[in-house]
Structure formats: structure tokens, C-alpha cells
Amino acid sequence: MADPVPFKQRRHHMHEAGHEGMSGPEHDAMLVEQQKKFLWTHYTNILLGVWLMTTPVALGSLEPAVVWNDVLCGVLVVPLAVLALFRRAWAGWALCFLGIWLLFAPLVFWTTSAAVYLNDTVVGSLLIALSILIPGMPGMGWMPMPGPEIPPGWTYNPSSWLQRGPIIVLAFVGFFISRYLAAYQLGHISAAWDPFFGHSTEKVLTSDVSKAWPISDAGLGAVAYMLEALSGYMGDSRRWRTMPWMVLMFALLVVPLGATSIILVILQPLSIGLWCSLCLFAAAGMLVMVPLAVDEVIAMGQFMRQSLQEGRPFWRTFWMGGSVAGGGPDQPAPRFPEQNVAGWMPAMVWGLTVPWSLAVATVLGIWLMGAPAVLATEGLLADSEHVVGALVVTCTVIAWAEVTRSLRWLNVLFGIWLLTAPWLLSGSTATAIVHDMLIGAVLILISLPRGSIKEGYGGWNQYAV
């Protein structure tokens, strides 16, 4: 039976009527009780503000800009934390942005103090966690929102903690690597270790490409990795529909940063002529994060599309989330991990499969990146192999995710280029011509099979061709 009241006329605003079936006063009372559980976060933020005001001198910093920045930030944090204590939502967001600024501040001021860099990084991360991540969205908190945990038509939940776990771990690995490299650029350490290429890491970090950035490029990567790790903690296992804005922000951190990492890897042999081992490790971790994270974005997009079709306002749903109907009689049987380590490990990579064709394509891409050094290829053809190899690896690894399996077709274009490049570019030799044409032909052929799709993704399965 159709609902006699149009959806748009219902009161879905969280501050007006709360959830369906709950009056405004009941919702407000529940919100107050829920926020009482996290009062300690506001008191802790007050202490962090006092800490910021008093630590610059204690840490021995003699840089006026750094000292004044920490003191002023501390002066701002204390009253904002008090206002957040009295449920001023904007104050919570202001604390979050102050925390983000503290992550950038040591890089902007090029501080020579390792202690100040560490202090601002820790305090900034704590402010973000204590203002947004732990207590929930300011003004809303972690209010219960009834509805399914698994997206309609899906066989697993892409927002589960097991699914997010590997992404968070890889983000922290990237953070620690980038922060080590940033310490060398800022002068906190005298040498940067490279396990394979000798002093290449130091030369890359002091190259013209790195100096072209107004701040430490490694430090910028560390900030991005930290924000990515923290955003991975935000929301519960239903955030694909309860926090669409957070899922989108998470994706904007993962995907562009992954693309930037690959670009920097491409620039190393082209512009600098050197490789940086730690840069490659960080870029590889970032690239793997993309196929691990993209399924949650697809689920969020499906939810938003269904919400619009049902007449819900876009921006209210985007910022506050909502519920969604189940998958109906055709809903596939959902998968739940076994409650042991042996069951958790496979559940972390549900939605990601590596058929033999993609495994071979990944190896071919890695080989192309190193082939000019092995085969002594020179000129524009060597540059072509570097670029195409990196692009093949990027597209193939992203295609490991079943929801983005169709990206493997881009390898056909790369294969066609490899077939023609030796005849167009300088540096071609008989060996290079045979090599590139053979790799190109194989790349085209192995891009044809799709590989198995083991999971269900609602209406998205038709796009995984």
C-alpha cells in the first residue's frame, strides 16, 4: 500500500524529529544522554590546549613563528573545547580544523626542531580524534539509525571494521615512512637509509622536483596518510549509508593520493634518473589501498542514488545519512566472517580477487618500469617504458577490486601503444622492438578474460565486464 504522505513532507531532520517514530523531545533527550558518555573528550581537549601553550619553550624551540603558532593554537583550543562541552557543534568542527592545521604547521614553518614536529603531530591527531572521531559528528554524536548493515544486493559489508582494517594499517605504514623521509628534508636527521639504491633516497629528497614544493613533499605525504588513517576510524559499520560525506572524503584521500604517488614514482627515473626505495614502498602501499577502499564508495553511491529515486533531499541525506529498504526476494545470501583469525583474514579482502591474467599484467608492468635499466634502452623509448609500466601497474592493481574490474581494458590501449612506440620513438634497437611488441601483444591478450567475480554488488555487477 502506498504511503499517503509524500516522503518530502516527512520530518527527517535530526534536530526536528530524530528518527522515524521518535518525537523531537525524545530525540533531544537521547542525544544528551549519548553525549554525556563522551564528556571526557572535551576535558581532554582543554588539557591539550594548555599543553600547547606551555610546551614550545619546554621543548627548546627558538623559532618565533613556531612558538607563537603553538601558543595561539593553545589559546584557541581551550575556549573552543569549553564551547563544545556545551554542545556548540561549530566548536567541535573548529577544533578538528585546528588539529589539521597543527599537522601542517611544522611543514609550513620548516621547523628545525624534531620535538616540535612530533608534538604538533601528536596533539593535532588527538584533537581530530577527540573532537570528531570518538564523540561523533558535532551536534549529532553516534545516534542509532535503524536499517540494514549490508547494502541491498551485496553479499558483504564494505564498511565493516575488517574491511577497513588493512586500509588503516597501510595508511599508518605510509605515515611512518613519509615522516622518516620528511625528517631528512627538515634536517632532523643527517642521512636517509635506502636498502637497495644506496644514497639515491637522499638525492631524490633533495632534487629539484622535491624542492619545487613550497613545503616538504614527504611531510605533505605524512599528513595525508595520517588524515587517511584517522578517517578510516570514523563511523560505524553502516557508514556507507549513515555517513556518505565521510565515505566520499575517505575516497578523495585514497584515490588522488594514490595517483599522486604513482606520478611521483614516474618522475623519479624521468626527471631525476634515480629510484627511492622507501618512496616505492609507500607508493605501493597507497596503490593497494585503492582497490580495498573503492567498494565502499560504490555502495555509498548506490545508496545516494536510491535515496534520490525515493524523493529524499540530496544534501540532507549526504550529510546525515538515512536508511534504505532491503534487497527483496532476490537478495543474495550475505557472508559473515567466522569468529576466529582464520575467518577474519579472508574477510579483510572480500571484493578483491587477483586472477592469473591480472597477476601477469602486474608483473609485466613492474618489468616495464625496470626494463630500460636491464636492457640498456635509451631515449624516448626508455621514458615510454617507464610511464607505460607505471600506468599498467596502477590500472591493473585497481582492477583487482571486482567493482572496478573493467579498468583492465585500459591495458589494451597500453598494449597497442607498446606495439607502435618502437617505430615512432628514438632509442629503438632490434632488441627493444621485439621486447616492446611482445609485451604489448601479451598485455592485450591477457586483458580479454575478466576473471571470476565472487561477490554480489546489487546492480553494479553489470558494470564489472
Q: pLDDT averaged over the chain?
A: 84
pLDDT of residue 167: 92
pLDDT band of residue 5 (cuts 50, 70, 90) is very low
Positive or negative, the CA dihedral 448, 285, 417, 381 is negative
Q: What is the mean pLDDT of residues 97-113?
A: 94
Mean pLDDT of the 155-182 span: 93
How much is the pLDDT for 258?
65
Q: For residue 104, is pLDDT > 90?
A: yes
Please identify, in words, the CATH class of the domain defined by 159-324+346-350: mainly alpha
% the chain with pLDDT above 70: 86
pLDDT at 257: 67
Q: Which of 147, 139, 132 is nearest to 312 (CA)?
A: 147
Domain ranges of the chain: 13-144, 159-324+346-350, 356-463
Which position has the grid cell 571470476?
A: 452
Work out the average pLDDT over 75-97: 90
- 373 confidence band (pLDDT: 50, 70, 90): confident
Tens digit of each residue's pLDDT (9 = 90 or more) over 191-241: 999 888 888 888 888 888 788 888 898 898 899 899 989 988 888 889 999
Q: How far is CA 13 from CA 22, 140, 143, 409, in A?
A: 12, 11, 13, 44
For residue 1, name the pLDDT band (cuts at 50, 70, 90). very low
pLDDT band at 442 (very low <50, low <70, confident <90, very high): very high
pLDDT attached to residue 329 = 56
CA 403/CA 460 separation, integer angstroms:
7
